[in-house]
Amino acid sequence: MTEAAFTPRVFSGIQPTGHLHLGNYLGALKRFVETQNEGVESLYCMVDLHAITVWQEPEALRRATRELTAGFIASGLDPEKSILFNQSQVAEHAQLAWIFNCVARMGWMKRMTQFKDKAGKHAEQASLGLFAYPALMAADILVYHATHVPVGEDQKQHLELTRNIAAKFNHDYGVDFFPDTQPVIEGAATRVMSLRDGEKKMSKSDSSDMSRINLTDDADTIAKKIRKAKTDPAPLPEAPDGLLDRPEARNLVNIYAALSDRSVDQVMGEMGGKPFSEFKPALADLAVDRIAPISTEMERLMQDPAEIDCILARGADRARGIAAPILHRTYEIVGMVGAGGA
Ligand code: TYM
């Protein structure tokens, strides 16, 4: 393996916990499809080991992993072109994560805001896995020497940690083995906000289902959620800078831009100055047009779970083919007997 010559390779993952929502679609899935279609080698992973850092009912986890896979495919990922698999079928992730647990420093981990958000006031009751979560995420990426990771804004800090772990490993062992992975956080919708509160991220854990559009929602539900989305009474501003202090309006414009593959400037050129009574129906039509077919296709794919399992098993074989030699070489660098070396 030639070290320091890193061919472009994309990796990203989504947790199989609950339904996919519009934030996952615009911040991640839609961009995965664009990357796949640019022809870069891409791996997309259902991160089931990450999911169990908080309690998951086994049956619900199995279903969510299959549903997530269906969501990937229904969004346009082609299992022949991209490698689609679930994390636990490729043991190399967990194996490299252990090495990274020994590279990452406690101080780094304690600064992770996602842990603080998720553990809240009950950090003593949180699992050790939840604390170590970002080291496993670094392993997901680096076990493939991935050079680019498309994600939403909320994953930025984890990707900085990934780069720190790679740099410390390279430095400690005097090698240039792991790449300096680049986060790819691009587009109008890297942080889609709740439809009920423009200051809060759209998320699966929000107790209000009206706060998000799920990829499993049917056309009527999607339209209703947009109709009822919180807004202020003023019409849309004439120009984009008028959106700065209007979080709800800004969020809906960003969603419109991302769904229609246009820039915010272009959308404002068309919609600026219009009242929400005109803008919302246009947005609802667009969202139904883009999301409802995904939901229908997911439902169809979920009729055949055996086929989904087959796709994941095939993807895992292909993924292992890349990960195994990288893990082997890592063991060799670290000094594990049996992995080669003097
Ligand atoms: P997860 O499962 O929370 O989210 C999956 C992807 O969706 C993006 N996302 C959003 N984007 C825009 N607006 C939103 N409201 C929104 N909500 C979620 C996330 O940024 C993410 O890209 N730790 C990761 C999973 C992971 C991973 C990895 C990602 C594990 N290993 C390796 C990349 C590389 C997570 O919990 O994502």
pLDDT in tens, 4-61: 579 999 999 999 998 999 999 999 999 999 999 999 999 999 999 999 999 999 999 9
Supply the pTM of this predicted model. Answer: 0.96
Cβ atoms within 10 Å of 117's Cβ, excluding its own: 10
Would you say the CB of residue 195 lies under 6 angstroms from ligand 1? no
Please write the tens of the pLDDT for every residue from 114-142. Answer: 998 888 888 999 999 999 999 999 999 99
pLDDT at 1: 46
What is the distance in A from the centroid of ligand 1 to the CA of 152?
Answer: 6
What is the distance in A from the centroid of ligand 1 to the CA of 167?
Answer: 23
CA atoms within 13 A on the CB side of 43: 28
**Residue 312 CB partners (closer than 8 Å, separation 6+):** 46, 65, 69, 84, 85, 86, 89
Given a cut of 90, is residue 173 above it in pLDDT? yes
Given a cut of 60, is residue 3 above it in pLDDT? no
Chosen CATH of 209-300 out of 1.10.10.10, 3.40.1030.10, 1.20.200.10, 1.10.240.10: 1.10.240.10
Residue 274: active-site member: no
Closest CA to 96 of 338, 309, 320: 320
Angle at 48 (CA atoms; ends 43, 49), nearest 5 degrees: 105
pLDDT at 2: 45
Mean pLDDT in residue range 219-228: 97
What are 15's two structure tokens? Answer: 């947790």
Residue 230: active-site member: no
CB 71 within 8 A of CB 84: no
pLDDT at 23: 97
pLDDT at 4: 57
Residue with tokens 């803008």: 279
What is the distance in A from the centroid of ligand 1 to the CA of 28?
Answer: 7
Relative orientation angle of helices 92-101 and 128-142, to the nearest 10 degrees = 110
Mean pLDDT in residue range 188-197: 96
For the chain, the domains span: 9-190+304-334, 209-300
9-190+304-334 and 209-300 share one CATH topology?
no
Find the catalytic residue in 81, 116, 168, 201: 201
Atom 26 of ligand 1 has which residue's CA nearest to it? 13
What is the distance in A from the centroid of ligand 1 to the CA of 210?
Answer: 20
What are 210's two structure tokens? Answer: 């009206």
Instruction: Give the fold, CATH level 3, of 9-190+304-334.
Output: Rossmann fold (3.40.50)
Would you say the CB of residue 141 lies under 6 angstroms from ligand 1? yes
Q: Rounded to an integer, what distance in angstroms lies between the CA atom of residue 287 and that of residue 213? A: 9
Please write the tens of the pLDDT for every residue from 74-99. Answer: 999 999 999 999 999 999 999 999 99
N- to C-terminal Cα distance for the chain?
A: 17
Would you say the CB of residue 86 lies under 6 angstroms from ligand 1? no
pLDDT at 281: 97
Residue 201: active-site member: yes
